[in-house]
Amino acid sequence: MPYKDPEKRKRYSHKYYQEHKKEMSAAARQYRQEHKEEIRANHRQYYLDHKAKMNAVSCQYRKDHREERAACDRKYYEAHKEEALAYQRQYYKDNPEKMRAQSKRRDAKRRARKANTNVEGLSLDDINRILEAGCFFCESKEGLTIAHDIPVSKSGDTTKPNLFCLCQSCNSKMGVKNLSEMLSQTRLSFN
């Protein structure tokens, strides 16, 4: 560099860039094409090294620009409505288990909000583990639902220890009773 003074160097760099803009852009574009995987790996590594900071910045940005982002999302959705609906339909067809689990979580959250109870996030794996066991009473593997030991209507939480699997028939027989009340009532048959 011909200048040691930072201000002169800055002016010189700016002037040089303005005079050689096309060549520099072409060189940068060519470099990105030739080193695509290396650049991607560097970005991935940077993300892993700075994940917490990047998530915090992203979260803060979303909070600060909530209305702008919502307006932009609405505008995009209106412009691409058919594509979005087609993608959504296809995703529902390709991932029925995820959609059922999401629906069950949403319903549980809604019921918990209504009853002022806590909802702990359940993953798809947690729900699948509960459902794999089969019905607690009749051991059926058909028409399974997730039931609460302490019902949501009685301030039961939607947490792993409070959930177990019942078939639809046994779940409707159980009603709003808890598991111990159900087991103590020997007059009801779950077969």
pLDDT at 186 over 70: no
Q: Return the pLDDT at 175.
A: 76
CA distance 33 to 27: 10
Domain at 97-184, CATH from 3.30.410, 1.10.30, 1.10.3470, 1.10.287:
1.10.30
Residue pLDDT, tens place only, 106-125: 887 777 666 554 455 666 67
> H helices within the chain, ranges in order?
6-19, 21-34, 36-49, 51-64, 66-79, 81-94, 96-115, 124-132, 168-174, 179-184
Tokens standing for residue 45 = 């590594």
Coil, helix or strand for 68? helix
Residue pLDDT, tens place only, 141-180: 888 888 888 877 677 777 778 888 888 888 888 877 877 7
Give every CB contact of residue 1 below 8 A, 6+ residues apart in sequence. 9, 12
pLDDT at 4 over 90: no
Stated pTM of the model: 0.35
Residue ranges covered by each domain of the chain: 6-64, 97-184
Amino acid letter, 27:
A
CA distance 15 to 181: 83
Segment holding 146, helix H or strand E: strand 144-148
Place of tokens 């650049």: 39
